[in-house]
């Protein structure tokens, strides 16, 4: 497996040199300075790739080329935006970068309610708390019909929780939910998010799925011609928020995506933490079923709670069978090698990490993307990979 690290570009406080010191050999990054919907110029992508190469690292996955909401709703100037997306794929292909991770989440990207959840060892993790989310949705955002999306037990807890919140705690919760998290796309105000939510609710699940498939029909042929694999990231969390439709949350969702556009260039990102936030997603079975179309892996673990809440645990200490998942992925790599396929080694990265030690005092550390937390995660995952390879030789 290709040991990779997410880098947020030249402005990232974690330098390419530090990434090499962590033992990573590959970089996962994006052109963060280019506005969503604009074309990625070939010259700029190549220049960024040359900078990464000069550091002794290899850019193996674009994460991501963000999709404008107009593409997801097929409204506004979506046709022009799709053409721009095609050009960006061509630029990536000409730069020799083999994969593009993207997502089709409506309105909000990956969502957490608490960015500094205190763990037993005093490090800080990311957490999604359903009670807090419901408190925001029903009592702060006051979304029409919101109370219909929660059980009575959750509503009662949310009401009590909201009554205990001070103004600053309320504002922090809102910021965590709608202001945009690292690698996500954009931010909203309370009023603008209501408008966006209503648009996607009106579209519905099948409408959103239809728009995803139409997008893939348009761009997958370009990816094929450019030598680029597209790998869709799952919804995070993999269930409805704000009553919004979800179309990349389960194994059945994946089957529909891969079947609708049956091309080797149409693949998936197996994010263990996202899919694993649902207890009915069997990650090992998904790796075995979809192995040939897995082009990128996020190795992250979670501890699930009965009401749908979860927090991000240590990489090897959660409800997901990380050892079993890695073993299935290594098995897929062996299959590819025996079949003589060109793309054998699967890019992986330690996804998110706890905030710990001196980094707690540092400014500018992106939630989930601390250096020490991810370094620890990568080291643990590397140990599992080496042990399994040894056992299978």
Q: What is the pLDDT of residue 364?
A: 80
pLDDT of residue 343: 87
Q: Which of 132, 137, 236, 351 is catalytic?
A: 351
What is the structure's pLDDT at 184? 56
- Residue 212, classed as helix, strand or coil, is helix
Task: Return the residue matching tokens 């790998």.
Answer: 231
For residue 188, what pLDDT is reported? 79
Residue 223: half-sphere exposure toward Cβ, Cα within 13 Å: 23
Looking at 26, 298, 315, 354, which residue is catalytic?
A: 298
271 is catalytic: yes
pLDDT at res. 189: 83
Strand pairing category for 99-103 and 229-233: parallel
Catalytic residue among 271, 282, 295, 314: 271
pLDDT at 171: 93
Q: Which residues of 80-106 are buried (b: 16+ CB within 10 A; e: fewer)?
A: ebbebbbebbbbbbbbebbbbbbbbbb
102 is known as an active-site residue: no
Is domain 2-110+205-391 annotated with CATH 3.20.20.150? Answer: yes
Q: Which of 68, 233, 315, 354 is catalytic?
A: 233
> Residue-wise pLDDT tens for the chain (393 aa)?
999 999 999 999 999 999 999 999 999 999 999 999 999 999 999 999 999 999 999 999 999 899 999 999 999 999 999 999 999 999 999 999 999 999 999 988 889 999 999 999 999 999 999 999 999 999 999 999 999 999 999 999 999 999 999 999 999 999 999 876 555 556 778 888 899 999 999 999 999 999 999 999 999 999 999 999 999 999 999 999 999 999 999 999 999 999 999 999 999 999 999 999 999 999 999 999 999 999 999 999 999 999 999 999 999 999 999 999 999 999 999 999 999 998 899 999 999 999 998 898 888 889 899 999 999 999 999 999 999 999 987
For residue 352, indicate whether it is catalytic: yes
Q: Which of 68, 315, 352, 354 is catalytic?
A: 352
| 233 catalytic per annotation | yes
Is 68 an active-site residue? Answer: no
Task: Name residues whose C-beta falls within 8 Å of residue 213's C-beta, 6 or more positions apart in sequence.
Answer: 257, 260, 261
Residue 324 to residue 41: CA distance in whole angstroms: 41
Based on the residue annotation, tell me whether 369 is a catalytic residue of this protein.
yes
Distances (CA, A) of 290 to 299, 325, 366: 16, 12, 32
Residues 261 and 250 sit within 8 Å (Cβ to Cβ): no
Indicate the pairing of strand 58-63 with strand 26-29: parallel
Whole-model pTM?
0.94
CA 144 to chain centroid, in Å, comes to 28
Q: Look-up: residue for tokens 């673990």?
A: 301
Place of tokens 């300075």: 33
């Amino acid at each position: 497996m290709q040991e990779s690290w997410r880098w947020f570009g030249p402005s990232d406080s974690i330098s390419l040199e530090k990434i090499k010191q962590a033992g990573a050999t590959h970089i996962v990054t994006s052109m963060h300075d280019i506005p969503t919907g604009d074309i990625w110029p070939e010259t700029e992508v190549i220049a960024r790739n040359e900078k990464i190469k000069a550091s002794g690292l290899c850019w193996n996955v674009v994460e991501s080329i963000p999709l404008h909401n107009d593409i997801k709703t097929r409204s506004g100037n979506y046709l022009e935006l799709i053409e721009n997306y095609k050009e960006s794929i061509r630029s990536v292909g000409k730069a020799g970068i083999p994969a593009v991770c993207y997502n089709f989440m409506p309105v909000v990207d990956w969502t957490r309610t608490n960015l500094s959840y205190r763990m037993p060892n005093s490090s800080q993790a990311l957490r999604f708390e359903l009670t807090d989310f419901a408190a925001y949705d029903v009592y702060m955002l006051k979304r029409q019909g919101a109370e219909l999306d929660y059980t009575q037990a959750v509503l009662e807890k949310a009401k009590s929780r909201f009554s205990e919140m001070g103004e600053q705690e309320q504002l922090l919760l809102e910021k965590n939910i709608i202001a945009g998290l690292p690698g996500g796309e954009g931010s909203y105000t309370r009023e603008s998010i209501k408008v966006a939510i209503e648009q996607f609710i009106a579209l519905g699940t099948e409408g959103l799925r239809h728009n995803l498939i139409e997008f893939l029909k348009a761009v997958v042929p370009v990816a094929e011609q450019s030598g680029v694999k597209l790998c869709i990231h799952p919804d995070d969390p993999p269930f409805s928020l704000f009553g919004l439709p979800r179309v990349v949350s389960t194994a059945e969702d994946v089957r529909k995506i891969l079947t609708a556009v049956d091309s080797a260039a149409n693949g998936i990102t197996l994010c263990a933490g996202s899919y694993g936030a649902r207890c009915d997603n069997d990650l090992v079975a998904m790796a075995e079923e979809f192995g040939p179309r897995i082009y990128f892996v996020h190795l992250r673990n979670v501890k699930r709670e009965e009401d749908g809440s979860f927090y991000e645990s240590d990489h090897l200490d959660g409800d997901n069978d990380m050892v079993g998942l890695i073993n299935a992925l290594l098995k897929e790599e062996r299959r590819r090698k025996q079949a003589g396929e060109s793309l054998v080694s699967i890019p992986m990265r330690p996804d998110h990490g706890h905030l710990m030690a001196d980094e707690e005092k540092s400014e500018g550390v992106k939630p989930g993307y601390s250096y020490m937390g991810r370094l620890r995660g990568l080291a643990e995952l590397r140990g599992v990979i080496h042990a399994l390879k040894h056992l299978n030789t």
